[in-house]
Amino acid sequence: MADYYEVLGVERTASEEEIKKAYRKMSRKYHPDIAGPEFEDKFKEVNSAYEVLSNPDKRRMYDQGVDPNDPSSGFGSGAAGFDMGDVGDIFGQFFGGAFGGGASQGPTPRTQPGRDALARTSIDLKTAVFGGVAHVTINTFGLCQECGGSGATEGSQPVTCPDCHGQGYRQKVVRTMLGQMMTSAPCERCEGHGTIIEHPCPACMGHGRVRTTRDVGVTVPAGVHDDTRLRLPHQGEVGEGGGAAGDLYVDIRVKPDKQFTRDGDDLHCWVQIPMSWAVLGHGLDIDTFDGSQHLDIPEGCQPEQTVTLKGLGATKLGETNRGDLIIHVNVVIPTKLKDDERQLIEQFGERHDGDKPKVEQSCKPLSAKKGFFSKLKDALG
């Protein structure tokens, strides 16, 4: 027999409120829309545990060693033509009320907790770096403003059901192969609530909530990564009878940026410079998320050499420190030269590289030691 107390993570002496609180926590944790479809069986197990432990009769039977949800025990759903609420009464007939019968069964509350909701939104890379506010539009149940969640029209209140006198269930005698037995079942008139809304709110038809579309502002923390899931407490679906709203979970997608790419907390970009700047060195201004920044290309800069600007990368999540901005230098070597330009390059090559430059050969990538003008001569043939 499954340990329902262990499934919900509560003690055997837990109160109804503690069980309800634990159920909300576990159902959020294992809801297939939140945790993924692979947790569907676990979610069903949590619901089965709550179905038993939230019902006084079923919980009493379970504590006596009988699982009301187990068909093989003879007391599962539909056994001998009775529902779960009947079992306590049958045991009461046989054992003189040892199991309490249906007398302790209470009405079903109209107020029920709402379910969690899931939404998605896209942000740009700059918002991911510095943080900001994103907006999502959700269509879900919200509190009925006309009745404030009571389900009744203004000035009226639910009244005690005259059929069950507020108990939420009715007892009746049924004939079985064992003779006549007393059973209990939810009251049909009040649907087990013990009260009747004689004048339901026309806006929500007595449910205390209405379908609504609303815009929710989402605070995005600085340094958030792609596919991060944020939780907004009590921003989900409002429950029946104006019950407490569930949570809203928002999946964050960071859109690609045209100038920068992210690697951890560092940002990377690529710049192209003329060959002469690489040889002689040069200063230039580049765009960053912090505005225009000056960059010094060192003399003799090699292709794919990097220059780092400290502290201009992405914010480290949960901190104030930032990563670096790493600039990759791409040297543009001309492929067409005028005659006088070619002569100048050849003259420089003869002086700088010699008539017979040594060619290095390796099974691994070589460091960029070969002169720029030797590379230029190779490019020009």
Radius of gyration of the chain, Cα coordinates, nearest whole angstrom: 36
Q: Please check if 301 is assigned to a binding site.
A: no
Q: Please check if 363 is assigned to a binding site.
A: no
Nearest to 7 by CA among 23, 20, 21: 23
Burial class (CB in 10 A: 0-12, 13-18, 19+), 61: buried
How far apart are alpha carbons 108 and 57 in whole angstroms? Answer: 13
Say if residues 283 and 296 touch (Cβ distance below 8 Å). Answer: yes
Cα first-last separation, the chain: 83
Q: Please check if 164 is assigned to a binding site.
A: yes
Q: Please check if 190 is assigned to a binding site.
A: yes
How far apart are alpha carbons 120 and 184 in whole angstroms? Answer: 46
Q: Which two tokens stand for residue 43?
A: 């979610």
> Which residue do the tokens 């009301």 mark?
68
How far apart are alpha carbons 197 and 89 in whole angstroms? Answer: 29
Q: Provide the b/e sequence for 339-378 (b: ≥16 CB within 10 Å).
A: eeeeeebeebbeeebeeeeeeeeeeeeeeeebbbbebbbe
How far apart are alpha carbons 208 and 205 in whole angstroms? Answer: 8
Could you tell me which residues are annotated as the binding site?
144, 147, 161, 164, 187, 190, 201, 204
Could you tell me which residues are annotated as the binding site for Zn(2+)?
144, 147, 161, 164, 187, 190, 201, 204
